[in-house]
Amino acid sequence: MGNKVTTFTEVQLEAYQDCTYFTRKDILRVFQRFRELAPDMIPYDMTSDEGSRLKIPLDKLEEMPELKENPFRRRICQVFSDDGTGDMAFEDFLDMFSVFSEAAPRDIKSAYAFKIYDYDNDNFLGKFDLEKTLKSLTQDSLTKDEVTFVVNKVLEETDLDDDEMLSFIEFEHVISRAPEFLNTFHIRI
């Protein structure tokens, strides 16, 4: 006999726990963050299919403090949204926070980093992808010649099969030599 507020059913919470690196408490904290972005759109009670149906628009997500200064914020949202638009339902948002959590393993983080940098979605990091990534990282402050030079140098040093693009395995090899990668691919809840 109390005023217990039900946000998710037990079944939903168990399913979210099974699919993420979070505890129930973490899931409810992530939901609170999600709801704070658009309280007029997101109800407290998500016990039906609203967790996969109600979406927060990309422009609101990009204003989150955790993403606001990230040069890849738009691309991150696009990769984690189920339809690729960047608009996110709670389940997309939860997946994003789970992958960026401290508990997520390096191989999962690497796979999502690869997707974020693969702008043309062809499962390779070609010159186009590397140029877009470099321009994002440098806030478009390099000349065209400088961008070309850096992209060619990256490919020269990391493209093991000389096909002018990086496969996921080649990318993973590069990431394995960068111990600071795990620290930069992180969002705290």
Residue 175 lies in a domain: yes
21-40 pLDDT tens trace: 999 999 999 999 999 999 99
Co-location of 38 and 76 in the same domain:
yes
Co-location of 63 and 144 in the same domain:
no
Phi, psi angle pair for 41, to nearest 5°: -105, -25
Residue 2 lies in a domain: no
Co-location of 76 and 36 in the same domain:
yes
Co-location of 95 and 14 in the same domain:
yes
Token reading at 143: 């000349």
Q: Where are the beta strands (DSSP E) in the chain?
A: 55-56, 88-89
Task: Determine the pLDDT at residue 176.
Answer: 86
Nearest residue to 58 via CA among 45, 77, 42: 77
Packing angle of the helix pair 73-80, 90-99 (nearest 10 deg):
120
Query: Is 88 in contact with 80 (CB distance < 8 Å)?
Result: yes
Co-location of 127 and 91 in the same domain:
no
Residue 68 lies in a domain: yes
Co-location of 114 and 36 in the same domain:
no
Other CB atoms within 10 A of residue 49 CB: 10
Co-location of 171 and 121 in the same domain:
yes
Domain residue limits at 39 = 10-46+53-99
Co-location of 69 and 126 in the same domain:
no
What's the rounded Cα separation, in Å, for the pair 94 and 21? Answer: 10
Co-location of 60 and 135 in the same domain:
no
Task: Determine the pLDDT at residue 1.
Answer: 42
* pLDDT exceeds 90 at position 2: no
Co-location of 22 and 86 in the same domain:
yes
Instruction: Domain count for the chain, please give it.
Output: 2
Mean pLDDT of 105-126: 96
Q: Which residues contact 144 (CB under 8 A, 6 or more apart)?
A: none
Residue 4 lies in a domain: no
Task: Determine the pLDDT at residue 54.
Answer: 92
Residue 3 lies in a domain: no
Mean pLDDT, rounded, of the chain: 92
Packing angle of the helix pair 90-99, 24-37 (nearest 10 deg):
120
Q: What is the pTM of this model?
A: 0.91
47-83 pLDDT tens trace: 777 778 899 999 999 999 999 999 999 999 999 999 9
Co-location of 40 and 59 in the same domain:
yes
What's the rounded Cα separation, in Å, for the pair 75 and 78? Answer: 5
Residue 5 lies in a domain: no
Nearest residue to 108 via CA among 32, 20, 42, 179: 20
Other CB atoms within 10 A of residue 19 CB: 12
CATH number of 71's domain: 1.10.238.10
Co-location of 72 and 122 in the same domain:
no
Residue 1 lies in a domain: no
Domain boundary among 61, 81, 99: 99
